[in-house]
């Protein structure tokens, strides 16, 4: 591949993009943004790497989140969802990047048990149609969250959802965990992240919504509750 230099003279080898930022706060890249990155990488002979560790493997309602933009990355990074909790990670490399001896080294590469777990996960995803369910149930969860008074900027795709918490509810995540035994993710300074199992049921989502409303009510000042 040719070398490409940016305006400051720095050599660029690749662009790494997370189509939905996870720890970054559930920020969703637009299709036009992803297509532009793909186009610029092609134009300048730069490798496009899709970080699908958190947003991939069916979580967004497509197998890879970048699939929503109708593009292919040159390299995909994967982990987390591959083994349904069993430790495993992997990468996919496009055929136009020639493989060679020593290109990839890894201490635990080819672990038989991990590979068996990963194959089992793929079988369940296919048999139970979990990618389509992630799409449908994610939309149901989004719609349910938008009916709740108190949380803000509700966004997401599939079963990767986030919302902002106002200052008066800054202890919402702690309250959900300690008082209701509900564990959620977070992103600083004020985002609650929801990444439930792809097999989550509507009943379980309804139970969460009910608990969330209860937790919000417990944290609101009395005068605020009276206004509502």
**How high is the pLDDT of residue 77?**
96
> Could you tell me if 122 and 165 lie in one domain?
no
Q: Which domain holds residue 208?
A: 130-227
| Whether residues 142 and 40 fall in one domain | no
Residues 97, 9 within the same domain: yes
What confidence score (pLDDT) does residue 7 get? 58
Regarding whether 43 and 63 lie in a shared domain, the answer is: yes
- Using alpha carbons, select from 54, 53, 52, 99 the residue that is nearest to residue 71: 52
Output the pLDDT for position 13.
Answer: 87
State the pLDDT at residue 70: 97
pTM of the model: 0.87
Q: Identify the CATH number of the domain in which residue 82 sits.
A: 3.40.640.10
Q: Are residues 153 and 117 in the same domain?
A: no
Profile the chain (228 residues) by mean pLDDT over runs of 10 residues.
56 92 96 97 93 96 97 96 92 88 74 93 97 97 96 97 96 96 94 96 97 94 52
The CATH number linked to 142 is: 3.90.1150.10
């Amino acid at each position: 591949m040719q070398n490409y230099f940016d305006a400051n003279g720095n050599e660029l080898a690749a662009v790494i993009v997370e189509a939905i930022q996870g720890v970054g706060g559930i920020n969703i890249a637009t299709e036009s943004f992803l297509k532009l990155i793909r186009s610029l990488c092609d134009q300048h002979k730069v490798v496009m790497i899709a970080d699908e560790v958190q947003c991939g493997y069916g979580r967004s309602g497509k197998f890879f989140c970048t699939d929503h933009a109708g593009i292919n990355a040159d390299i995909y990074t994967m982990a987390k969802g591959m083994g349904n909790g069993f430790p495993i990670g992997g990468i996919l490399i496009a055929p136009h990047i020639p493989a060679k001896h020593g290109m990839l080294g890894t201490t635990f590469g080819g672990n038989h048990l991990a590979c068996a777990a990963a194959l089992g996960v793929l079988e369940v995803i296919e048999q139970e149609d979990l990618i389509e369910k992630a799409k449908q149930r994610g939309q149901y969860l989004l719609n349910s969250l938008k009916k709740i008074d108190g949380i803000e900027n509700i966004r997401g795709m599939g079963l990767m959802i986030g919302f902002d918490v106002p200052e008066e509810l800054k202890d919402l995540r702690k309250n959900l965990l300690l008082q209701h035994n509900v564990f959620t993710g977070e992103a600083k300074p004020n985002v609650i992240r929801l990444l439930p199992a792809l097999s989550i049921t509507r009943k379980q989502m309804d139970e969460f919504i009910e608990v969330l409303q209860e937790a919000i009510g417990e944290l609101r000042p009395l005068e605020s509750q009276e206004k509502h």
